[in-house]
Amino acid sequence: MKKRLIYGLLIVVMSGGFISAADHYFEISRNLDVFTALFKDVNASYVDDTNPSKLMRTCIDGMLKTLDPFTNYISESQIETYRIQNSEKIVEIGIHFQIMDSLPVVTDLIKDLPADKAGLQIGDKMLALDGQSTRGKGYDEVTQALHGQTGTAINIKLQTIKGETKDLSITRQEFQQTNVPYSGMLTKDIGCINLKVFNPNAGKDVKEAYEKLKREHPELKGIILDLRGNPGGLLTEAVNVVNVFVDKNKLVVTTKGRVSEWNSTFRTLNDPTDTKIPVVVITDNHSASASEIVSGCMQDYDRGVILGQKTYGKGLVQIQKNLSYNTMLKVTTAKYYIPSGRCIQAINYAERNDDGSVKRIPDSLKHEFKTAGGRKVWDGGGVDPDMPVANPAPNPLIEVLISKNVIFDFATKYKVSHNTISPAADFKLSDKDYEDFIAFAKTRDHSYKTESDKLLDKLKETATEEKYYDAVKTQYEDIRKKLDADKASAFQKNKTEVVTLLENEICGRYYYLNGKIEKSLQNDPLAIKAIALLNNPQGEYKELLTKK
């Protein structure tokens, strides 16, 4: 009954259908009056006790759910966590962690921040924070405990990677997530800049990283801008990053909304750093928002080749509005359009299926646009790469080794027994080390089912139900034995990929995120392809930028 009342409230609030602009505010006022009266009467007259706050939250969430997932209401109890998660500045001790076996475990350290200086290591387990056990606590609870005021201390009880218990008091410090965790040379003349987020100074950081590479390596002839996994950030910093490679006073992005005051145009403001050097921008399906502005602009101006996977497809702009009682609304106010005129938003939330679900804009509804050089590009689905490279097919062994922390835990074990390793660029796991890993993995649950296993299980189930199993039992068991034997050799068949992941993880233990990225790029298929393109700028690189 209570659910019916809530849905009824939502219908009243959302009613009005298609109305003229002149009647818009009257419709809002009328529906608010109806809703207020109904809400009061429900809470005053309903047969059982009601929780007004819970009812209201259900109404608000139901209403916003009909819009887009980026329009959200933040209650007073959520406001502090929201501000922490969305702040450009972080007040904390400088770690990343994950919940493993019901305890928070340090998975990354930020160099020279308090946790690093205090001697924490990747793999350490946080048993208690300020005297409160962390066992069974969720990620958000632990995050909130780690954050606090600048200069305040947090007391941490650790189980170190050597199995010792240690108590530390660490003073919190304000810092900003690094925009460029890695920049360096992948070959003697090809450089790479890894841009992870668009926080303040992202454009300055990319410019300085490029200038340093050029200064230290005059033979530099090509640059890779790696935007994989970059969720976006400040729109103005996207403009500044584009400005590193594109001339002054060039259009970068236009925002357009229903309310004209939210319409804006952003152009490059400064003299560029280099408009000639060949550039390859690497993207994936997690490159979103500001990452899509940068990659889309580089494509629209034919300034660089986009390599990898189609980007996420978020072309919506949000603002934050403070409400009463220390609450907040994050609301989508506009869409953004890149220089060719296209919007890269991939989902039309205004049009839904009968069941309320949404889907990506179909190809039949996409529109053609042209780059500065006349190449065809399309709207409605993120930025399509000039050279698409599909993600590799899922590897069940790799997936289970990652998901069950077997690779992570072996790297921890390796760190305990090796005080130092060679520089990240030179580090190699020996065959003996790999045999040690296989032995270690066999002590852990790394069982998994392939698609063949699942089909074979289904065959047995169906044959048993239909009473045919006895007739095929011998053949079934033969196939099962062959599959199991093949899985037993999986560590050797997948040695190259497993070793790569182990080397990346181990390098991160000694050389932080910078070393992990540096090592990972050595065997990265997309980085290798980008190098090949940049090594032949008058060949395939040029063809991709001039193909009509």
Give the residue numbers marked as catalytic.
289, 300, 314
Tokens of 152: 């305040």
DSSP per residue, 119-141: T--TT-EEEEETTEE-TT--HHH
In this structure, the dihedral spanned by the alpha carbons of residues 316, 317, 322 and 326, taken in order and rounded to 10 degrees, is 50
- The DSSP string of 259-323 is SGGG-EEEE--S--S-SSS-EEEEE-TT--THHHHHHHHHHHTT-SEEEES------EEEEEEEE
* DSSP string of 434-491, one letter each residue: HHHHHHHHHTS------HHHHHHHHHHHHHHHTT-HHHHHHHHHHHHHHHHHHHHTHH
* Alpha carbons 268 and 502: distance in angstroms, whole number: 42
Alpha carbon separation from 268 to 217, 249, 370, 409, 471 (Å, rounded)? 27, 5, 20, 47, 74
If we measure between CA atoms, which residue out of 297, 288, 318 comes closest to residue 382? 288
Helix and strand counts by DSSP (H, E) for the chain: 18, 21
Taking Cα atoms as reference points, which of 272, 167, 238 lies closest to residue 383? 238
Element (H or E) spanning 526, and its range? helix 525-534
The token pair that represents 240 in the structure block: 């500044």
Backbone angles phi, psi at 32, to 5 degrees: -65, -40
